[in-house]
């Protein structure tokens, strides 16, 4: 008569805890908008870990609370507790359960990380050879990116053998980011990319270590002096998101912020051409900037700074 | 006192107050020297934390110069780790308690012990003195190239300070290993060695294996800074990621240096105040060793976004996750110790239980961060700050407080006031959660750490954190009043106020010089509560007599 209700209560408590953890982990607003191909993978992984964490949290903290109330010393009771020194079965149980959980999480992390493009596929090393036959220019480009080891993210496994749609050289310096588009010669202080395109950022740093993070992309990679790193991803939602430096780089580290503007391909193209034109003019004019008056010198930057002609 | 004079020794019968300011070789004097010095630095580091939180009450850098902010941030971390937690937990409690718990008259090498302590004050002065030169501003991690290009003199002083405390730690560790392995009283069997001693043994071995690597990294950095070498100068062929490997090879195990002794304190405090044998003595002892071994192979999880290849990030994800298993074994062991107990809610027990619940939180967030796919999002954000303050403040500092409430009667002969203790605990618990819980969300949402200015969208949560930090600041006041008042006017404790079974409680409070007239004979295990042995009978008799 007594036994049945206890196990029934345990079952009910278990179901309730599972329901609570699942509900919280799927209805929280802890993470910002997911705006890259990798972001939903990270979020799914986080939500699974969050579910397990909430369940464990409730079980352990709940047990502590129940024990504290139930086994508190009553007034005038100076005896000791039950002399129980251990229980092998129980100890095996609570060693085995976490072991299974962490092994499962470990295997799952590798899978997620691979889908995020974090693992260098072995076949990739041979790809330059294959490209030599088909296209010499492409091979040169491929060679450049594979001969020097580059750490970071290589894009989703399906895209890794192809060159990226948009390549941007990103330079970190105290306390700004500089974005160079080698294909079009455009330089900018903020990153513009087309939505849905396979983008590769080649990260470098001129002075100290910086770290490139877009919280909405769930991606981060250090830009390290002397070591090349890269981030390859697809932005999935148009919008403007912050670029945050996450490696201490000096007094104004906190103000080293920029923006990534994810645009429709048309918007992106027009931004690119506009800047290409403005910066070509600048290249001609700027042969000897010392001879120019400040307003002459600044004129070509008008577009880049986003100031309308009427205001200038 | 008269009995002590029968011993044929050259030292005085008891130490005077000024003996605590000298090169004294008594392990108890050294223990107290460590604890008091460390506490002074805790207050200094705490004031820096308040300054940091005050700056972060607003998004702009309007209170401190950003470089001074970075100097506070760097030295807050440095002081809390190297001059507060490590010296108080290992140097303070370790030196005071290990010989007493083992039935030894002192540490194996008393003079070496004193030297190890006296390396700390100059290190502390170097850290404080560095503020005359702007203070080290490159974080407690001192990553080059930043550490090579900011505040040259201050950075050099910082390196020298860390090398001094590192040397102190190595000397102390040698002493602990030899003492624990060789000097326990012969009647004590290996499975009767208190778990605190096992924890200190594991910690010492870990310190011996890892500290030299940090010293190597820092000496190379020192050479780069001052003698024109270029180990870490990329423009001259150096490699900055190499420094990170050397640094974290020590500094991840350093996390265990800060928590393993605290785990030892937990394993002593909980059984005594729950009146229960520790649940799974062997599992808790071996899990310390397991944490040490696995803990040596997890350092790259601090470098998941650095210049590290994918396979390395995966290997260290898995090794990091494995640490959760032995840590869980300890947590579950302590929770199970509470089961069937007669829990006495003394201040020591409140802090121990507080640690248990805070550490669960820090452990769970730690598992999430240990995985590379999620860590690339939260690395170097406030999520990390939240995590390590839950384990180092909610863990280590709560544990140090538990230890102080528990052993203060042994150290001074007087009990701390329980009412002040409860006020202290309540303020600390509220302050901890108010300060550090919102930081999880800040990090997930996009706020990086180590910043003096931030995106205004994060202001609300930051204000909550700042209010919490002020409560934490206030919480120290009842504690200090309690310590100062109780040291001379507290309720007399007697030899064994908690009816505990470990050997330190078999001598007088405070213990005489050389600890015992006649060394004790071990007749029962350290946690044999509830067994019908003589000790238990005796203690319940005294308890009734006092009531």
- Residue A18, pLDDT > 50, answer yes
A273–chain B nearest CA distance, Å: 31
Structure tokens at B61: 């850098």
pLDDT of residue A126: 42
Gap between the terminal Cα atoms of chain A: 88
* Other CB atoms within 10 A of residue B67 CB: 18
Q: What is the ipTM of this complex?
A: 0.91
Q: Given CA atoms B434, B437, B439, B441 in this order, what sign does their dihedral have?
A: negative
Q: Determine contact, residues A256/A176, Cβ cutoff 8 Å.
A: yes
Per residue of chain B (547 residues), give pLDDT as tens. 444 444 455 667 788 888 899 999 999 999 999 999 999 999 999 999 999 999 999 999 989 999 999 999 999 999 999 999 999 999 999 999 999 999 999 999 999 999 999 999 999 999 999 999 999 999 999 999 999 999 999 999 999 999 999 999 999 999 999 999 999 999 999 999 999 999 999 999 999 999 999 999 999 999 999 999 999 999 998 999 999 999 999 899 988 999 999 999 999 999 999 999 999 999 999 999 899 999 999 999 999 999 999 999 999 999 999 999 999 999 999 999 999 999 999 999 999 999 999 999 999 999 999 999 999 999 999 999 999 999 999 999 999 999 999 999 999 999 999 999 999 999 999 999 999 999 999 999 999 999 999 999 999 999 999 999 999 999 999 999 999 999 999 999 999 999 999 999 999 999 999 999 999 999 899 999 987 654 444 443 333 333 3
Longest C-alpha distance within chain A, in Å? 99
What CA–CA distances, in Å, run from B183 to B193, B260, B407? 11, 21, 22
Q: Which residue is listed with tokens 């303070």?
A: B92
Q: Does A75 touch chain B (CB under 8 A)?
A: no
Residue numbers of A between 129 and 148 with CB closer than 8 Å to B: none
DSSP sequence for A203-271: EEESSS-EEEEEGGGTEEEEEBTTB-EEEEEEB-S-EEEEEEE-S--STTGGG-EEEEEEE-HHHHHHH
Q: Which residue is listed with tokens 């000397």?
A: B171
pLDDT of residue A291: 58
What tens digit of pLDDT does each residue of A156-177 get?
877 778 889 999 999 999 999 9
Of B479 and A3, which is predicted with more confidence? B479
- CA pair distance B488, B493, nearest whole angstrom: 12
Paired with A212 in beta bridges are: A221, A245
pLDDT of residue A298: 61
Helix or strand run (H / E) with residue A7: helix A3-27
Going by pLDDT thresholds of 50, 70 and 90, the confidence category of residue A10 is confident
Of A245 and A146, which is predicted with more confidence? A245
Chain CA centroid to CA B255, Å? 9
Average pLDDT score over chain A? 84
Please enumerate in sequence order all residues whose Cβ is within 8 A of that of B222, keeping only pairs 6 or more positions apart, or say none: B156, B159, B160, B163
pLDDT of residue B311: 92
- CA pair distance A169, A304, nearest whole angstrom: 17
Chain CA centroid to CA A23, Å? 25
Is A248 in contact with B343 (Cβ distance < 8 A)?
no
Range B28-546: architecture per CATH: Up-down Bundle (1.20)
Q: Which residues of A touch B143 (CB under 8 A)?
A: 208-209, 247-248
pLDDT of residue A6: 79
Q: Determine contact, residues B451/A253, Cβ cutoff 8 Å.
A: yes
The predicted model gives A45-60 an average pLDDT of 95
pLDDT of residue B542: 39
Is A118 in contact with B313 (Cβ distance < 8 A)?
yes
Q: Which residues of B touch A68 (CB under 8 A)?
A: 338, 343, 353
Of B217 and A132, which is predicted with more confidence? B217
Strands A239-245 and A210-214: antiparallel
What is the residue extent of each domain of chain B?
28-546
Of A116 and A299, which is predicted with more confidence? A116
Q: Which residues of B touch A109 (CB under 8 A)?
A: 314, 317-318, 371-374
Determine the number of helices (DSSP H) and then strands (DSSP E) in chain B.
20, 0
Q: Counting beta carbons within 10 angstroms of the beta carbon of residue B297, is it exposed (0 to 12), middle (13 to 18) or buried (19 or more)?
A: middle
- Residue A130, pLDDT > 90, answer no
pTM of the model as a whole: 0.90
Question: Buried (b) or exposed (e) across A270-300, using 16+ Cβ within 10 A?
Answer: ebbeebeebbeebeeeeeeeeeeeeeeeebb
Q: Which residues of A touch B282 (CB under 8 A)?
A: 86
């Amino acid at each position: 008569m007594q036994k049945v209700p206890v196990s029934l209560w345990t079952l009910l408590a278990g179901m309730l805890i599972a329901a609570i953890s699942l509900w919280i982990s799927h209805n929280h607003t802890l993470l910002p908008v997911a705006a890259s191909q990798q972001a939903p993978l990270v979020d799914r992984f986080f939500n699974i870990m969050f579910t397990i964490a909430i369940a464990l949290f409730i079980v352990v903290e709940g047990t502590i609370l129940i024990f504290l109330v139930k086994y508190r010393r009553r007034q005038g009771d100076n005896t000791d507790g039950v002399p129980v020194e251990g229980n092998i079965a129980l100890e095996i149980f609570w060693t085995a359960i976490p072991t299974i959980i962490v092994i499962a999480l470990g295997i799952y992390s590798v899978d997620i990380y691979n889908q995020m493009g974090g693992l260098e596929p072995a076949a990739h090393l041979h790809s330059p050879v294959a490209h030599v036959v088909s296209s010499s220019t492409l091979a040169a480009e491929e060679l450049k990116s594979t001969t020097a080891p580059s750490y970071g993210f290589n894009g989703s496994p399906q895209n890794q053998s192809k060159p990226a749609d948009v390549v941007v050289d990103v330079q970190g310096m105290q306390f700004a980011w500089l974005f160079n588009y080698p294909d079009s010669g455009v330089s900018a202080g903020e990153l513009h990319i087309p939505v849905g395109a396979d983008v590769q950022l080649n990260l470098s740093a001129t002075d100290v270590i910086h770290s490139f993070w877009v919280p909405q992309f769930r991606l981060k990679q250090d830009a390290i002096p002397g070591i090349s790193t890269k981030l390859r991803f697809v932005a999935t939602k148009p919008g403007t998101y912050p670029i945050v430096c996450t490696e201490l780089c000096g007094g104004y580290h906190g103000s080293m912020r920029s923006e990534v503007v994810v645009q429709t391909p048309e918007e992106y193209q027009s931004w690119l051409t506009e800047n290409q034109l403005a910066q070509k003019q600048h290249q001609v004019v700027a042969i000897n900037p010392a001879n120019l008056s400040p307003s002459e010198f600044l004129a070509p930057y008008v577009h880049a700074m986003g100031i309308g002609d009427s205001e200038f | 006192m008269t009995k002590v004079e029968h011993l044929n020794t050259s030292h005085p019968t008891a130490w005077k107050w000024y003996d605590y300011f000298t090169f004294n070789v008594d392990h108890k004097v050294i223990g107290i020297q460590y604890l008091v010095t460390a506490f002074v630095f805790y207050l200094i580091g705490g004031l820096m934390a308040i300054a940091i939180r005050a700056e972060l009450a607003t998004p702009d850098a309007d209170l401190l110069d950003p470089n001074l902010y970075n100097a506070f941030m760097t030295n807050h971390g440095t002081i809390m780790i190297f001059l507060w937690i490590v010296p108080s937990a290992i140097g303070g409690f370790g030196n005071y308690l290990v010989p007493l718990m083992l039935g030894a008259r002192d540490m194996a090498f008393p003079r070496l012990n004193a030297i190890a302590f006296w390396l700390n004050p100059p290190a502390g002065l170097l850290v404080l003195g560095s503020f005359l030169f702007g203070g080290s501003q490159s974080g407690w991690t001192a990553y080059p190239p930043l550490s090579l290009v900011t505040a040259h003199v201050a950075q050099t002083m910082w390196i020298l300070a860390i090398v001094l405390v590192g040397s102190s730690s190595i000397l102390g560790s040698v002493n602990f290993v030899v003492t624990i392995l060789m000097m326990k009283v012969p009647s004590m069997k290996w499975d009767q060695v208190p778990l605190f001693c096992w924890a200190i043994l594991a910690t010492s071995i870990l310190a011996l294996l890892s500290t030299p690597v940090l010293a190597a990294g820092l000496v190379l950095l020192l050479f780069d800074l001052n003698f024109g070498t270029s180990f870490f100068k990329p423009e001259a062929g150096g490699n900055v990621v190499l420094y990170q490997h050397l640094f974290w090879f020590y500094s991840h195990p350093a996390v265990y240096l800060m928590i393993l002794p605290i785990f030892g304190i937990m394993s002593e405090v909980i059984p005594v105040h729950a009146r229960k044998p520790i649940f799974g003595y062997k599992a808790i002892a071996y899990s310390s060793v397991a944490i040490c071994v696995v803990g040596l192979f997890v350092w790259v999880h601090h470098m998941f976004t650095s210049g590290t290849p994918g396979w390395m990030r995966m290997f260290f994800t898995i090794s990091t996750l494995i640490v959760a298993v032995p840590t869980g074994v300890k947590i579950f062991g302590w929770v199970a110790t509470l089961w069937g107990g007669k829990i006495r809610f003394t201040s020591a027990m409140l802090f121990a239980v507080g640690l248990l619940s805070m550490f669960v939180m820090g452990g769970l967030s730690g598992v999430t961060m240990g995985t590379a796919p999620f860590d690339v999002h939260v690395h170097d954000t406030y999520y990390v700050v939240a995590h390590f303050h839950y384990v180092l403040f909610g863990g280590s500092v709560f544990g140090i407080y538990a230890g102080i409430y528990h052993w203060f009667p042994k150290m001074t002969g007087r009990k701390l006031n329980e009412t002040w203790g409860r006020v202290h605990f309540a303020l600390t618990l509220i302050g901890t959660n108010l300060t550090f819980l919102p930081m999880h969300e800040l990090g997930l949402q996009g706020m990086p750490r180590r910043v003096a200015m931030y995106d205004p969208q994060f202001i609300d949560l930051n204000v909550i954190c700042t209010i919490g930090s002020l409560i934490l600041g206030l919480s120290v006041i009842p504690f200090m009043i309690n310590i100062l008042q109780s040291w001379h006017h507290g309720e007399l404790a007697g030899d064994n106020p908690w009816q505990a079974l470990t050997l330190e409680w078999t001598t007088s409070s405070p213990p005489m010089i050389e600890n015992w007239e006649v060394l004790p004979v071990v007749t029962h295990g350290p946690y044999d509560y509830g067994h019908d042995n003589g000790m238990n009978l005796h203690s319940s008799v005294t308890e009734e007599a006092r009531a």
